[in-house]
Structure 1
Amino acid sequence: MSKTHTGRGQRELRKTRRRFLQSIGVAGTVGVAGCAGSNKEAAVDDAGASTASDDDTTGGDSTTQTTESVEMTDRTFATATTNVPKDMQFNPYGQKYPDRAALALFENLLYVNEATSTFMPGVLSEWEIGDELVTLSVRDGYHWHSGEAVTADDVAFKLKLDIHDGATLSNIVDPEDVSVVDDSTLELGLKRPVAEEVFLYSLKPIALDTPPAEFQEFLDAYEADGEAPGLTEKTLDEPNGTGPFKFVHARNQELLSERFADHPDADNVNFAGMRWDYLQSNQKQWTALRSGNVDGIDNVFTPDNIAQSYGDDIQEIPMPANWGLGIMFNHEHEHYSQQKVKQAIQYVIDREKLARTAGSKMHVPVEVPCGLPGNFDDSYKDWLGDSLSEFNKYEPSTEKAAALLEEAGFSKQDGTWVDADGKTLEFPFKIPSGWNDWTAGGQSVVQDLNEFGIEASLNPSQSYWGDIYGNQEYVVAGLGWPDGKLYPYFSLNKLLNGFRSRGILKFPRSVEVPPLGEPNGETQTVELEPELEELAGLTGEAAKKKTQELAWIVNQHLPMAPLMEKIDQSWLTTDDWNTVTEEDVSAIVDWPQYYLPREGKLTAKPE
């Protein structure tokens, strides 16, 4: 049975934190000219109480925080949101749901430390995962903000609704197999055995944010007809939450919440509330942090020159994103449905130059395009093992790229690559507008391709998300290639079998693959869905071997072209706030501003 704690020693966790920081070359803090410490607030677009580390201290001006009770203050923690607060809606299945503020207003079922892949309790205190049945225990002491106690019925309700709605959990649990044992226990029947990491990561995005009184009609509709018309259109201006902060109001420029005294971790929170100021651009958030108008920001890309303008009271917390820029190919396109064309693109792009251009402090190039995250600390190599040397690294080579295009029937005319019918090989690279690092990186990609003779353009788009997920109007586009989780199943499933692969990339459901390490060997047909289903249930050496086989498929077929990985940058000020030191791994949970108060590791200093 998985318990509240994982048994990892604090020294081991500090080593993990140091290894992560060393891998990105960040000291953990950068300096500024001093003020911060206002009571203004603001956010941006997946446990049990952790004990303090051996070198934690309290008192005076120390910024280190323990879980001991602290004096209550009237401070409000200010952070930022890029969403207009008065337009926010608190229906998690609809539009304009404030996913970052929701981390304070609602309680997740569990939390994940992404530096150590450690699962920690939220609403769930314990879990026992068998081959056929999962038993979940609900932590005592949670209440809806309307006053009712949270029970296993509430958790079962949420899980059934999410499964019907197609959440990741629906791949391994049917809604009729969710049952309540008693007020604090529920059981889930599994469709097939799954690895513990696969099951728990499937719970990671789920928060207790659907009070049955508001959503019962939709679960009833699902159970009666298999559909719930109106679920995505339902509006909720005021949430009935379960988190440590309760909604007060949402106005044009701010969302305000107050400390909720009936939360089980309320004794660890010694400040009056949180506020999110509407700051819709990176530049406005940088200015607010520098001027002390906010006390922290959950995640904002910050170039070195901006970070160096900050003072000693602004602390950076690098967060492993397990995510980064890749190229989505539309596999219904006449050119980008061809394996050799995709491979040629991967050869042309200088990934090291790309990472430097995007911001070398927070980006690293993908070393081996195989669908596995972990390029910051080389953890992907642990999964590939001795097979690593067999994979194609796609080191920049215009000669190899040219040979591949020629094999695919392309030729160069007046310096531009054209197909056998004379059609120009174009690369209209669509990216989300306003993403500074991707804009800079995209320019590097386009430059490489144009110099090679592919007609490339960079197209930042305000309608990006609608174009990609709605109209699917794209030829090539930039989007994250990994799934945001270090465990390899999730990124491999995303690339080869999941919704992205099927619905957006239009990647085929079966592929011809040569033996691992023999790219010119005789191919065999591989059906992708059963392969990913098998991987989900494997552990140990069997999981490692299957991971290598599927990573080889990504390496050869490139459903997306993995280019780089990034580190997210989270920020806290320390003039009015006590928080963790850079040695404390407990900050590496999405996101520190919302998780650390639960642990008593982000507290207000006496006024």
Structure 2
Amino acid sequence: MFLKARRSSRARTVAAGLAAVAVLATACGGSNNSGGGGENADTLIVYTGQSGDWQLNFNPFAPSTLEGPGTIFEPLFYFNRLRTVDPRPRLGKSYEWNADGTQLDIELRDDAKWTDGEKFTAQDVVFTLDMVKKNPSMNGTGYKGEATAVDDTHVTVKFTEPSFMEGPQVLGAIYMVPEHKWKDIATPATDVVNQPVGTGPFLLEEFKPQAFTLKANPGYYAGEPALKKVRYVALSGNQSGEAALRQGQIDWQTGPVPDMANIEKNYPGYKGITFPMNQAALFTCSNAELGCQGPQTDVAVRKAVYYGMNRTQINSLAFENTASEISPGFALLERDKEVISGELQEKTAPMQPDVAKATAALESAGYAKGSDGIYAKDGKPVAMTIKVVAGWTDYITAVETIAQQLQQVGIKITPQQVSWNEWSDSRGRGQYELLIDALHQGPAPDPFYNASYFFSTATTAKVGEVANPNFSRFSNPAVDQALTALKGVNPEDAADRQQYFDTIQTEIEKSIPYIPILTAGTTSEYNAKKFTGWPTKEDLYAVAAVWQRPDHSEIFLKLKPAGQ
């Protein structure tokens, strides 16, 4: 189960942001939060982008989960998705594949306990894996293994076909839950968990709609964390987050702030870090055979949008030039440079618009420009609505900019600001023409995972049903076959793997069901005066994004109050 993190919500007005900061100051006991002293000296105050009150739910598998993956509920291992390093043991100690990739043997630690005092055993792992397999909406990784507890500290997972690529999914992207607590949950994919029992370094101390607090687990097998509390606050968007940051009211947020190049100057005591990871794109409901409707179901229209964008301008206006180029095959340009296909027509999406290519794509498919300047076919204009979450200021700027740009190629785009809940529901059910979002990466630094999530027939559904997470409804037999084949190739066999990456990337480029915009530069601002141990560009031991799970828990475990 790979949970898509909720992106940073964006503020609507400065006034709302300042009002929210006033509330936050009261909740946190004043504004002196940038130093090492005071009642909040060992409390990390974080803002995830939550806009509005929190809704109680600590179910790590539910789409509406607030928190828990990594902090309360743990995976077996932590895989760094930014660089190729050995996974760090969490509940697991070691693992090994057999020669043909059909059996995964896992050794567990023997000193972990659930926070209610019960011992963690192999049976909990088997129960969790079986539960995920039985519930398709929880099974975002497509897990199909058969797990068996050999004894209390050993689990064997067997697969009917070579499945090397399932390793990081099973080991790093499924969060273990206690059988004795979960066996009686009727619908584990959606039921609310309000009193979470986990093995992790933190447990729930207090919940209120405006804020909730995790406290260090004194019985954690690796020792009680030096970071004693993590307080999650709800504001009204990134402008209120920026105002809270400026006043020293929060210690960590991930999202844009004005003049990001000068964070240390503008926010004394704070530092920033930016790294490329998620890929911003226009999601299209692309597959008419699965029920998608609208001009975007025609690849010619998608190609015209692709060539009509001025990505340099979008980067400047919406992302303060923190984003970077993107591959139309959706492998990360730097991290995955060894497997970027040489068969792609374009290694990167063009940074400047090509009006001639855009209009040629439309006209060769039978579209003609009307008197209003908009292309049409069979009496239907190339006019589409693009959904964006109200308050996501960078994405709002991006879609408004794109709408203006596409007027030059005879395409009408109407941005529509909606609530996160409406946007998320429309995305899942395919009830949209275009929306803006980002494709996330998998549990390990390998482009297989991004492709298996967003471009596999197994992870999509008919319009009206919830897809997870192939929201575009893309379905391509050649891509499916290549993904299946990759599962059976040892990841160390680069030569054998490349032929399948070539197929995946070139087929994606032909269809572009997600129209690439830019590789997003994910930026976090953090209180370096109050806490030490943050990731740096030289030591990216975890993804430095407050909403990235379980990476954030790795950071919580490293942080120490200044002076300790």
Q: Same fold (TM over 0.5)?
A: yes
- Partner Cα separation in structure 1 for residue 268 and residue 79 of structure 2: 29
> In structure 2, which of residues 526, 530, 539 is the aligned counterpart of residue 584 of structure 1?
539
> In structure 1, which of residues 151, 154, 157 is the aligned counterpart of residue 124 of structure 2?
154
**Aligned positions, number:** 504
Q: In the TM superposition, what are the counterparts of 1:304-343 in structure 2 within 5 Å?
A: 304=259, 307=263, 310-332=266-288, 333=293, 335-343=295-303
- Partner Cα separation in structure 2 for residue 168 and residue 117 of structure 1: 25
Residue number in structure 1 paired with 2:356: 399
Kindly provide the amino acid, as one letter, of the partner of residue 440 in structure 1: T
> In structure 2, which of residues 431, 439, 442 is the aligned counterpart of residue 473 of structure 1?
431
Is the contact between residue 303 and residue 359 of structure 1 (CA under 8 Å) also seen in structure 2? Answer: no
1:534 maps onto 2:490 in alignment: no
Is the contact between residue 43 and residue 231 of structure 2 (CA under 8 Å) also seen in structure 1? Answer: yes
Is the contact between residue 128 and residue 136 of structure 1 (CA under 8 Å) also seen in structure 2? Answer: yes
Kindly provide the amino acid, as one letter, of the partner of residue 314 in structure 1: Y
Residue number in structure 2 paired with 1:216: 183
- Partner Cα separation in structure 2 for residue 324 and residue 390 of structure 1: 18
Residue number in structure 1 paired with 2:154: 185
Query: Following TM superposition, by how much is the alpha carbon of 1:263 offset from its aligned partner in structure 2, in angstroms?
Result: 0.6
- Partner Cα separation in structure 2 for residue 289 and residue 320 of structure 1: 23
Secondary structure, aligned partner of 2:508:
helix
Is the contact between residue 410 and residue 417 of structure 1 (CA under 8 Å) also seen in structure 2? Answer: no
Is the contact between residue 321 and residue 567 of structure 1 (CA under 8 Å) also seen in structure 2? Answer: yes
- Partner Cα separation in structure 1 for residue 88 and residue 163 of structure 2: 19
Query: Following TM superposition, by how much is the alpha carbon of 1:132 offset from its aligned partner in structure 2, in angstroms?
Result: 1.4
Is the contact between residue 70 and residue 200 of structure 2 (CA under 8 Å) also seen in structure 1? Answer: yes
Is the contact between residue 318 and residue 567 of structure 1 (CA under 8 Å) also seen in structure 2? Answer: yes
Query: Following TM superposition, by how much is the alpha carbon of 1:438 offset from its aligned partner in structure 2, in angstroms?
Result: 1.0
- Partner Cα separation in structure 2 for residue 564 and residue 393 of structure 1: 8
Kindly provide the amino acid, as one letter, of the partner of residue 341 in structure 1: V
Query: Following TM superposition, by how much is the alpha carbon of 1:348 offset from its aligned partner in structure 2, in angstroms?
Result: 1.0
Query: Following TM superposition, by how much is the alpha carbon of 1:346 offset from its aligned partner in structure 2, in angstroms?
Result: 1.0
- Partner Cα separation in structure 2 for residue 556 and residue 95 of structure 1: 31
Is the contact between residue 304 and residue 361 of structure 1 (CA under 8 Å) also seen in structure 2? Answer: no
Is the contact between residue 60 and residue 73 of structure 2 (CA under 8 Å) also seen in structure 1? Answer: no
- Classify 1:396/1:88 alpha carbon distance in 2 versus 1 (closer, same or farther; 3 Å): same
- Classify 1:108/1:392 alpha carbon distance in 2 versus 1 (closer, same or farther; 3 Å): closer
- Classify 1:74/1:565 alpha carbon distance in 2 versus 1 (closer, same or farther; 3 Å): closer
1:493 maps onto 2:452 in alignment: yes
Kindly provide the amino acid, as one letter, of the partner of residue 584 in structure 1: D
CA RMSD of aligned residues (A): 3.2
Q: TM-score, normalised by structure 1?
A: 0.75
Is the contact between residue 320 and residue 566 of structure 1 (CA under 8 Å) also seen in structure 2? Answer: yes
Query: Following TM superposition, by how much is the alpha carbon of 1:498 offset from its aligned partner in structure 2, in angstroms?
Result: 4.3
> In structure 2, which of residues 206, 211, 214 is the aligned counterpart of residue 249 of structure 1?
206
Q: In the TM superposition, what are the counterparts of 1:28-427 in structure 2 within 5 Å?
A: 75-81=42-48, 82=50, 87-94=55-62, 96-99=64-67, 102-118=69-85, 119-130=87-98, 131-166=101-136, 167-168=138-139, 171-174=142-145, 177-196=146-165, 198-208=166-176, 210-218=177-185, 230-267=187-224, 269-297=225-253, 299-304=254-259, 307=263, 310-332=266-288, 333=293, 335-366=295-326, 368-372=327-331, 374-375=332-333, 377=334, 379-384=335-340, 386-387=342-343, 393=349, 396-427=353-384
Query: Following TM superposition, by how much is the alpha carbon of 1:337 offset from its aligned partner in structure 2, in angstroms?
Result: 2.4
- Partner Cα separation in structure 2 for residue 359 and residue 304 of structure 1: 10
Q: Which runs of 5+ in 2 are unaligned?
A: 1-24, 30-34
Q: Which runs of 5+ in 1 are unaligned?
A: 1-37, 43-61, 64-72, 219-228, 511-525
Is the contact between residue 327 and residue 478 of structure 1 (CA under 8 Å) also seen in structure 2? Answer: yes
Query: Following TM superposition, by how much is the alpha carbon of 1:454 offset from its aligned partner in structure 2, in angstroms?
Result: 1.2
Kindly provide the amino acid, as one letter, of the partner of residue 382 in structure 2: L
Is the contact between residue 140 and residue 459 of structure 2 (CA under 8 Å) also seen in structure 1? Answer: no
Q: Which moved further from structure 2: 489-498 or 121-130?
A: 489-498
- Classify 1:574/1:89 alpha carbon distance in 2 versus 1 (closer, same or farther; 3 Å): same
Query: Following TM superposition, by how much is the alpha carbon of 1:84 offset from its aligned partner in structure 2, in angstroms?
Result: 6.4
Secondary structure, aligned partner of 1:387:
coil
- Partner Cα separation in structure 2 for residue 213 and residue 496 of structure 1: 37
- Classify 1:330/1:555 alpha carbon distance in 2 versus 1 (closer, same or farther; 3 Å): closer
Secondary structure, aligned partner of 2:198:
coil
Query: Following TM superposition, by how much is the alpha carbon of 1:95 offset from its aligned partner in structure 2, in angstroms?
Result: 5.7
Query: Following TM superposition, by how much is the alpha carbon of 1:567 offset from its aligned partner in structure 2, in angstroms?
Result: 2.4
Is the contact between residue 41 and residue 294 of structure 1 (CA under 8 Å) also seen in structure 2? Answer: no
- Partner Cα separation in structure 1 for residue 451 and residue 241 of structure 2: 34
Residue number in structure 2 paired with 1:14: none
Structure exhibiting the larger radius of gyration computed from Cα positions = 1
Residue number in structure 2 paired with 1:226: none
Query: Following TM superposition, by how much is the alpha carbon of 1:492 offset from its aligned partner in structure 2, in angstroms?
Result: 2.2
Residue deviations 1:447-496 (CA, integer Å, cap 9, x gap): 111122212211121121122224x3212222224545641112223343
- Classify 1:40/1:319 alpha carbon distance in 2 versus 1 (closer, same or farther; 3 Å): farther
Is the contact between residue 163 and residue 169 of structure 1 (CA under 8 Å) also seen in structure 2? Answer: no
